[in-house]
Amino acid sequence: MRVCIEKMEAKHIDAVLEIEKASFPSPWTKAIYTQEVGQEYSNCFVIIVDDDLAAYISSWSVLDECTINKIACRSDLRRRGYSTMLLNHLINKVCGNSVKYIFIEVRESNDRARAFYKKSGFAKKGIRKSYYSDTKEDAILMSLDIENFLSVSNNR
């Protein structure tokens, strides 16, 4: 099995959209992803497993903060570590660009995602009331202090 992480490009968008539609109640459009891959502040990566796109991550870095917009894996390939690989790849990419914190909003009902981020070193920082326009569900704001994360990782 061959696994590699690549910068997301236009050629990946159709496969990203398939995962997007299966993963999110309000999926982004092709136009949004086309714009994303061309933005200077965007950090978009995909994992390719044996020539098939398995997972992706999209984030924005502005000043010393990075916000994860989307991270998803094909349903038949979940629980194999691909999201962890993408998250670690993103952390390594942005920590060299003076980013100090990574943020993500997670649906309050998404216990699996919240557990994943907690296991990855994120901590709950607050609640965004009625954040999701499709359901009015609250979002849990989580953050990762990169300096703290790197010192813990280096001591393992």
Contact 47, 83 (CB under 8 A): no
The CATH number of the domain holding residue 143 is 3.40.630.30
Q: Specify whether 33 is catalytic.
A: no
Task: Please check the confidence at residue 135 and state whether its pLDDT lies above 90.
Answer: no
Kindly state the average pLDDT of the residues 21-32: 91
**pLDDT, greater one: 10 or 156:** 10
7: pLDDT strictly greater than 80: yes
Which one of the listed residues 105, 131, 132, 137 is annotated catalytic?
105
* Residue of 117, 132, 137, 147 with catalytic role: 117
C-beta of residue 74 within 8 angstroms of C-beta of residue 34:
no
Average pLDDT, integer, range 120-133: 91
Region 3-11: mean pLDDT is 94
pLDDT at site 25: 86
**Residue 101: pLDDT band with limits 50, 70, 90:** very high
Residue 115 has pLDDT above 90, yes or no: yes
Residue 22 pLDDT level (bands cut at 50, 70, 90): very high
Report pLDDT digits (tens) over 73-97.
998 888 888 999 999 999 888 877 6
Q: Which residue segment(s) compose the domain that 129 sits in?
A: 3-154
User: Whole-model pTM?
Assistant: 0.89
DSSP letters of 93-139?
A: HHHTTT--EEEEEEETT-HHHHHHHHHTT-EEEEEETT--TTT---E
Strand order in the sheet with 52-62: 3-7, 42-49, 52-62, 65-73, 101-107, 139-145, 123-128
Q: How much is the pLDDT for 78? A: 87
Count of structural domains within the chain: 1
Q: Is it the case that residue 56 has pLDDT exceeding 90?
A: yes
Known catalytic membership, residue 117: yes
